[in-house]
Structures are given as structure tokens and as C-alpha cells.
Amino acid sequence: MRRLRSSLASAPLLAVSLCAALAATPAYADEQAGSPPAAKPAPSSNAMVNLVRLLVAQGTITRENGEKLIQEAEREAAEARLAAAPAAAPAAAGNPAAVAGGQYAVGNLPPPPQGTIRVPYIPQVVRDQIRDELRDEVLKQAKAQGWSSPGKAAPDWVHNLNIYGDMRIRSQSHFYSKDNSDFIPNFQQIVSGVNGQDPVPLDLINDPIPLLNTRQNQYNLLRYRLRVGVDFNIGDRVKVGFMLGGGNDVSPVSSNVNLAGNFTDRNFMIHKAFIQARPTDWATITAGRIGNPFWSSEALFDNDLSFDGFAGDFRWSSPNGLLDGKLVLGAFPLNFGALNFPNTSNVKTGVPQRWLFSAQAETDFHLGGDVFVRSAVSYHHYINMQGRPSAPCALYLGVTECSTDGTAAGFVQKGNTLSFIRRIVFDPTLPATAVQPQPQLLGLVQPYHILDGMISVKVPMGENTDVTFSGEYMRNLGFSRSNACRYGLAGQPVNNGGSGGNGNICDPVEANRTPYVGGNQGFDLQIGAGWAHPNRPGQWRAYVGYRYLETDAVVDAFTNDYWRLGGTNMKGYVIGGTVGLYKNVTIGGRWLSANEISGEPLAIDVLQIDLNVEF
């Protein structure tokens, strides 16, 4: 019987039907049937034999296995009759009337009429046992094969796939102070070119200097951000993922796309593309294009910034669960330099590669009453970020590149100290009064070795809500005021000069110098209350914050692009909030107001209204 049940379990649907038939079988059932064909065997008085024959006829089991099961069933039936005979004989001898009245023992039944199938009585307890055993075996097989659950009917690779994303529609308005300076160069355009891909040296003599808008308000600039990501788990230890989204190939800190584009199609950018491995439960290694692996505010790294390179985090926890720790290490190439420089010379020179090497140590304290304290210290060391003055460059001879063009700044916003890096030699055959072109490139004056400290304290306010106090302090340890004039008057800064003097920060006569007002410190403070991540109707979060960021506290290319419309050399506040409308649908708004810390006056307020949908 165990072998029969095993065969039935291999055909789950048929086995379930047989269980139902057994549960409904009466004590005796005589069913009149037509004469069977001569080729078919006569029906057996053993119900299990007939069931096996039915399974063979339907092709559920082979004839050879069926014959073996029939032999086993007949043998077990014979053994059962022999075991029951000693008990049935005395009962019949002691009660002849029972036999005369038609109550025959199982082994002494009269032969049935032609074509009649006799089913022996199976006690209810036996029928229940068979039914339960078959049901358990069928369910076990169903779970193993995954066909018992509609959600498991898909192939295995589908269950290893995670698709996620978000969509944001934003209305943004800019409000400028009427007291702003109207002569602030647009260094982003000077450095990156008009389209951000083909920077053209600025001719100080013949080219007009591009200037920023500083006084004309702009209302309701409509923008969208769409991001779609896919993660695929390969086993338990490896994951491959990517994210596509809107954006542009000019700014690394913005994934917004203007809705006003003359109805032209838009591009998708690769925001993430990575391989992630977990060699142990306490270590994770990620390579490729990834999100920010460090805990920081947007004063240091914008939320939309993606990192190219490698990162590893290593975690540990105390035995009592009150203290967690994490160490994050990263190496990120910023620019490998031109591979064929100078392009028009048969003598090639190397261009220094730019890298960012970072480390962060983080601790999390779980205090009583669900109070949570998080702190971190990080160090971010940029390699070869400074511009270098070139060797004397005789452009009048037809040379198109100078020796240190590869050290020119890449993308910038505004705030970092900049200087011209080309030492252009004039054509000596022209008179001294002749006006000669001076196509220049800009480079960063200061190195950036940033020490950053973060702390936050979260205190429960109610069910699922909290009040969080957070603070961040950053200091550029590579900053030095002497860097401003290390290359003399020819390499002096073109921005971040104070008032007074003759306009030259590096004038040889100290009394004539304009003071250099660059700085290397910054901090960010914020208080937030409500749900940590509102994503249901009625959930909310409100916050207020203050930020102070001197000119060279951080690399202005990677800080956020909405405080004073991007960059450093700013101080100001933000107030905002978010409210859930539906599941994963929220509306939010914030007001950001910021002024300059030093230099030319530039005060800009920004209003943002966002509709967000996550999926």
C-alpha cells in the first residue's frame, strides 16, 4: 500500500479525486454494468486491484508497475483474510442465525451475479487515514514544485528580479534680490562649454564673458524626474543592478528634465550599473556605477550624484544588540585624462588621473525608549584636482593645446576658487600695442582633502513618528591661503576676492592687494518631525534647516544644485514638508533662501512644489 500511495502522489490531481471517492464509498455497493470486452480482465473483488488497473488504463503508471502493485495488493488481501478467519469462524459457529439471515463473513460470501463489482467495507478510520496521508503527500509535492501557489507559477528567475522606481513632477521658481551684483561670471559655461561636452577656451580679449542671471525672477519652471531600476539576485551572494532615468550629460548632480522642450524626445541616462557581492554576512563589495555609499548631507554630495568605482562596507554588531558599527571604503575615478595628449603633437605627455579615495566609520547606538543615535566620521581625499600653470605656450605658432590643459577643471557650479592655467606667449613679431588673442582655461586653486563629521538623534514622538535632530561639520584640510598666490600674479584667482585693493589678489605690493576671502569650513543643521518616509494617506513630515558653506569647504561640482541654485559660498535656511495623498503618492514643498558669505552680493530664494510617485 505504501508503494501504491507513492504512485498516486506522483499524479496529484488524480490522487485527490481518489481520496474523495474513498471518503464517499458505502459499506456495500453493487453496480450493474454491461458485459466487458473479452480482451479486458474480469473485475476483481479487491478494490485496490481495480484502482491499479484504472491507473494503468489511464497511463498514470506502467503496466509492469501495475502488475507488481496488483500482486502486492492480492498478497496483502490474502494475509488479511487469513488473519480474520480465526475470529470470523467462532462468530459464525456461535450464531447460525446470522448466517441464515444473510450476514456472511467476508471470506464466505456467495459469488456475485455476472457483471457485478463488489467493494469490500473500509472502516471510516481507515478511509480518513488514507485521505490524510494522500493529502499531505500531494501538498508536499505541490509546495516543492511551486504549482500550489499562483504567485509561484512563474519561472525561478522572475522571483529573483526586483523592479522599482519613482516619478516626480516639480514646479520650481527663482526669486532674486534687486541688490544682487549684475556682473557674476558664469563659470560653469566657461569651464564646460555651451553644451557641456566641448569646452572652448575663453578668449579674454575677443570673447565676451558669459554672465549669470542675477536679477530677473523666473516662475513655474516645470521639470520631471523619472527613474526605473532593476536588481537581479544571482544566488544568495551576488546581485546585478542598473537604473535608468532622465537627466543630462552636463551636470552630475541633476536628473531633472525640463518639460518645455519643443515636444522633442528625451534621452535616458544610466544612473546606476553595478555588480554587488556579499562574500560574508558582514561584508559587501560593490563595483560599477553606484549610489552614494556614504552617510552624508547634500552639502557634501547631492542626492542625485552617482559614484563610479568600487566601494566596500564591513559591518559588526555588539552581542547585546545596542551598538552597531560599519566601515565604508571607496575608490572612485573621476577622470582618466586624455589618452592622446597633445592631440596635434608627435610627442605625447601623460595627463594625471583624478581619483577620489574615501573612508567612513559609522556607529549606531540603540538606547532605551527607542532613542536612536547615529554618528559617523569620514575622510574624502581628492587626487589631482588642482589646475597647474602650463609651460610657456606659443599659440601664435599654430599650437592648439598647452602643456597642462589636462588639469583644467571639469564640471563646476559656483563658489570654488578658480584661476587661469595657460601661460600664453605673445607673437614677438607684432608691435607691443597689437591686441593678441588669449584663449584661457580655468583650473581649481585649492586641493580638497575633506574631513566630515555627522550625527543624528532620533526620539520617538508617537506611533511610527519621531523627531530627529541632525548636524554635519566639514573642513577642507587641504585648503591654504598661500595656495592662492603660489604661482604669482599670472596664476592668481579670478574670483573670491574681497573689497579694496586694485583687484589683484596676488599683487607683489601688499598694500595694493585685494584680500582673498576664500574659506574651508561648512556645517549643516536640520530638525525634522513626523513619519520617517511618508508613503500612505495622511502621513506627513516637516523639517527646517540651516546651512553654512564657505567657498572651498567642499567640491562645488558635487554639492546640491538648489541652495542658491548650486555651489558653495552660501548661507541660508530651508523649511519644507511632505504629505501622503495615496499609497506611495506624496506632495511636498520647500522654500530655500540663501545669500553669499563673501564676495559679490548674490541672494537667491527658491520655491519647489513636488508631486512624487514611487513604485
- Please compute Rg for the chain using Cα positions: 41
The predicted structure's pLDDT at residue 490? 82
pLDDT score at 21: 40
pLDDT at 397: 93
In a domain, 392, yes or no: no
Confidence category of residue 441, pLDDT binned at 50, 70, 90: very high
Confidence (pLDDT) at 513: 93
pLDDT at 7: 42
> Are residue 302 and residue 235 in the same domain, yes or no?
yes
Cell for 430? 607684432
Residue of 595, 563, 571 lying closest to 303 (CA atoms): 563
- 491 falls within a domain: no
What is the pLDDT confidence band of residue 149, given thresholds at 50, 70 and 90?
A: low
- Does residue 538 lie in a domain region? yes
- Better-scored residue on pLDDT, 600 or 146: 600
* pLDDT class of 123 with cuts at 50, 70, 90: confident
Model pLDDT, residue 368: 85
pLDDT reading at 154 higher than 70? no
Q: Are residues 149 and 162 in the same domain?
A: no
C-alpha cell at 302: 547631492
Q: Give the relative orientation of helices 63-94 and 47-57 as an angle to the nearest 10 degrees.
A: 160
For the segment 281-301, the average pLDDT, to the nearest whole number, is: 98
Residue 535 lies in a domain: yes
Confidence band, pLDDT 50/70/90 cuts, at residue 10: very low
- Average pLDDT on 158-163 reads 89
Q: What percent of the chain has pLDDT over 90?
A: 62
From the list 517, 383, 386, 520, the residue with the least C-alpha distance to 451 is 520
Q: Do 543 and 609 belong to one domain?
A: yes
Q: 97: number of CA atoms within 13 Å, CB side?
A: 0
Q: What whole-number distance in Å separates Cα of residue 112 and Cα of residue 116?
A: 6
Residue scoring higher pLDDT (61 or 547)? 547
Give the Cβ contact number of residue 549 at 10 Å.
29
The model's pLDDT over 296-355, given as tens digits with 9 standing for 90+, comes to 999 999 999 999 999 999 999 999 989 999 999 999 999 998 888 988 888 888 889 999
Same domain, 458 and 335: yes
Distances (CA, A) of 131 to 11, 35, 145, 296, 468: 15, 32, 21, 62, 59
Q: Are residues 103 and 219 located together in one domain of the fold?
A: no
Q: Which of 460, 458, 464 is nearest to 373 (CA)?
A: 458
Same domain, 137 and 256: no
pTM attached to this predicted model: 0.76
CB 410 within 8 A of CB 250: no
Q: Do residues 136 and 6 both lie within one domain?
A: yes
Q: Does a structural domain hold residue 587?
A: yes
Tally of CB atoms within 10 A around 560: 24
Instruction: Kindly tell me if the per-residue pLDDT of 239 is higher than 80.
Output: yes
Which residues on neighbouring strands pair with residue 172, listed in sequence order?
Answer: 221, 608
Q: Per the structure block, which three cell numbers stand in for 5?
A: 500511495
Which of 204-208, 248-252, 606-610 is most confident? 606-610
Please check whether residues 82 and 175 belong to one and the same domain.
no
Residue 34 has pLDDT above 60, yes or no: no
DSSP 559: S
**Distance between CA 314 and CA 359 in Å, rounded?**
11
Q: Is the pLDDT reported for residue 458 higher than 90? A: yes
Q: In this structure, what CATH number is given to the domain that contains residue 587?
A: 2.40.160.10
Model confidence at 42, in pLDDT bands (50, 70, 90)?
Answer: low
User: What is the C-alpha to C-alpha distance for residues 504 and 7, in angstroms, rounded to an integer?
Assistant: 95
Name the 3-class secondary structure at 101. coil
Asked whether the predicted pLDDT for residue 420 surpasses 50, the reply is yes
Query: Of the candidates 139, 155, 171, which is a domain's last residue?
Result: 155
Q: How many CB atoms lie within 10 A of CB 183?
A: 10
Asked if the structure places residue 414 within a domain, the reply is no
- 457, 314: one domain: yes
In whole angstroms, give the CA distance from residue 157 to residue 476: 47
**What are the b/e assignments for 242-258, b being 16+ CB within 10 Å?**
bbbbbbbeebbbbbbbe
Same domain for 169 and 82: no
Instruction: Please give the Cα distance from 152 to 141 (Å, whole number).
Output: 14
Domain contains 426: no
Please give the average per-residue pLDDT across 7-16, as a whole number: 40
**In the 8-state DSSP scheme, what is residue 386?**
B
∠139-140-143 over CA atoms, to 5°?
85
pLDDT band, very low/low/confident/very high, at 115 (cuts 50, 70, 90): low
Question: Which residues, in sequence order, are CB contacts of 254 under 8 Å at separation 6+?
Answer: 247, 248, 302, 304, 561
pLDDT at 76: 75
The total of structural domains in the chain comes to: 2
Distance (Å) of CA 407 to CA 389, 401, 490, 580: 9, 12, 16, 48
Element (H, E) at 131: helix 124-145
Cα–Cα distance, 425 to 253 (Å, whole number): 37
Q: With 90 as the cut, is the pLDDT of residue 277 above it? A: yes
pLDDT of the residue at 120: 66
What interhelical angle do 2-9 and 47-57 show, nearest 10?
Answer: 30
Confidence band for 246, pLDDT divided at 50, 70 and 90: confident
Q: Angle at which helices 2-9 and 12-23 pack, to 10 degrees?
A: 130
Q: Are residues 241 and 308 in the same domain?
A: yes
The predicted model gives 465-483 an average pLDDT of 97
Tell me the per-residue pLDDT of 503-514, one tens digit each, with 9 for 90 and over: 899 999 989 999
Chain CA centroid to CA 431, Å = 62
168 beta partners? 225, 612
| Average pLDDT, integer, range 378-405 | 94
**Cell of residue 61, nine digits:** 503508471
Q: How far apart are CA 484 and CA 493, in angstroms?
A: 6
Q: What would the grid cell of residue 51 be?
A: 484502482
* C-alpha–C-alpha distance, residues 240 and 423, integer Å: 48
Higher pLDDT, 615 or 194: 615
Q: What is the pLDDT of residue 118?
A: 64
pLDDT at 44 over 80: no
Range of the domain at 308: 158-180+215-386+446-479+519-614
Cα 65 to Cα 378: distance, rounded to the nearest angstrom: 71
Do 86 and 171 belong together in one domain?
A: no
> Residues 411-421: what's their mean pLDDT?
96
Question: C-alpha angle with apex 416: 413 to 418, nearest 5 degrees?
Answer: 105
pLDDT of residue 131: 85
User: Does residue 427 form part of some domain?
Assistant: no
The pLDDT tens digits for 486-503 are 998 888 999 999 998 898
Residue 283, pLDDT score: 98
